[in-house]
Chains A and B, each alone.
Chain A
Amino acid sequence: MHNTKILKLIHRLREKTETGSLGWEATASPKKFLTTLSDYSVLISEEGDDYFLTIVDSWDDVIERVSDPELKQEDRKAYETMKSLYVLARRNAKGVDEAIDDILGSIE
């Protein structure tokens, strides 16, 4: 039940990032990206071969940290889902889409 909720959150974050209604920030760690929702910060990171989602509350306590292997039982595609969120978050934080639009604009 608990992991089902986490998976629902990951899917929702992915949708919102894809539609551009959720922004991400780069952090000091090159493979970790951050967004803030309500009173919580959510981080998506690539660590070795796995992807991790971390939730930090307003008191700076890590209240949840989950990796794709832990979610595999509920969702066989957990790895692909988290990787996809990670890629979208990275692109958003780095402004990749804006850069590509600018480059396309200058060569068209």
Chain B
Amino acid sequence: MNQTLQNIIEQGWGDLASIAGLLVALIGFAITIIGVWKSRSAAESAKKAAYEARSAIVRTEIIANFSSAVTAMDEVKRLHRAEAWNVMPDRYSSLRRTLISICSSHPNLNEEHRKLIQSSIAQFRELESLVESFLAGGKTSPSSAKLNKIVTAQIDKLDEVLNSIKSEAE
């Protein structure tokens, strides 16, 4: 037994074992680092994919909300032509609520887009006030052509925002 130990010491097996141990430790360390790096980048990829999926859902929701607002505005134009003034105040206020909800539920809209929506909200408030005054006993009936010119301008604004959102998505 003593002879065997003596041989190991004399032939430098201990040094070799130390070097081999060090190599194994270094390889193990490298494998661990690679493993950590891989799992980290996988987690980041998953996070990015989740973010992109969420953004796509929000964009789809914005596009759907805008489309329904534009449809409601087209309906308002038809009702103006039919001079259905009695039902208009409710339509205007419903449209305003839709536009307010678009703004409040999508904080990512940029300042320019928010300004366009904000001015549309104010325009529908003015339309409502004008028609309410007429319904309260005003003598002159509102001009459907003039009112539709204003509504068309609001549709154009929403289209501008919508196209910009769509092109950002592409």
**Extra contacts besides A34-B126, A60-B100 (10): CB < 8 Å:** A26-B150, A32-B126, A34-B122, A36-B116, A39-B114, A41-B118, A56-B121, A56-B122, A56-B125, A60-B125
Q: With an 8 A cutoff between CB atoms, is A29 at the interface? A: yes
Interface residue from B114, B123, B142 paired with A25 (Cβ < 8 Å): B123
A39-B114, A58-B100, A58-B103 known; A28-B119 Cβ under 8 A: no
**Which of chain B's residues have a CB closer than 8 A to the CB of A41?**
118-119, 121-122
**Which of chain A's residues have a CB closer than 8 A to the CB of B63?**
none
Query: Does more than half of chain B's interface fall in helix, strand or loop, or is it mixed?
Result: helix
Q: With an 8 A cutoff between CB atoms, is B115 at the interface? A: yes
Q: With an 8 A cutoff between CB atoms, is A82 at the interface? A: no
**Which of chain A's residues have a CB closer than 8 A to the CB of B121?**
41, 56, 58, 60
Interface residue from B96, B115, B127, B150 paired with A60 (Cβ < 8 Å): B96
Query: Does more than half of chain A's interface fall in helix, strand or loop, or is it mixed?
Result: strand
Asked whether, in the complex, the Cβ of A27 is within 8 Å of the Cβ of B126, the reply is: yes
Per-residue 0/1 for A26-63: is the Cβ within 8 Å of any B Cβ (1 yes, 0 no)?
Answer: 11110010111111110100000000000010111000
* C-alpha gap A29/B142 in the complex (Å): 10
**Which of chain A's residues have a CB closer than 8 A to the CB of B122?**
27, 34, 36, 41, 43, 56, 60
Q: With an 8 A cutoff between CB atoms, is B146 at the interface? A: yes
A28-B126, A29-B130 known; A36-B103 Cβ under 8 A: no
Q: Which residues of B contact A (CB under 8 A)?
A: 96, 100, 103-104, 111, 114-116, 118-119, 121-123, 125-127, 129-130, 142, 146-147, 150, 153
Per-residue 0/1 for A1-42: is the Cβ within 8 Å of any B Cβ (1 yes, 0 no)?
Answer: 000000000000000000000000111110010111111110
Report, as a range, how many residues of chain A touch the other chain.
Answer: 10 to 19
Interface residue from B118, B125, B147, B153 paired with A58 (Cβ < 8 Å): B118
Asked whether, in the complex, the Cβ of B123 is within 8 Å of the Cβ of A28, the reply is: yes
Per-residue 0/1 for A49-87: is the Cβ within 8 Å of any B Cβ (1 yes, 0 no)?
Answer: 000000010111000000000000000000000000000
* C-alpha gap A39/B115 in the complex (Å): 7
Q: Which of A29, A34, A36, A40 has the most CB of B within 10 A?
A: A36
State how many angstroms separate the Cβ of B4 from the closest Cβ of chain A.
87
A39-B118, A41-B121 known; A29-B126 Cβ under 8 A: yes
* C-alpha gap A26/B126 in the complex (Å): 10
* C-alpha gap A26/B152 in the complex (Å): 13
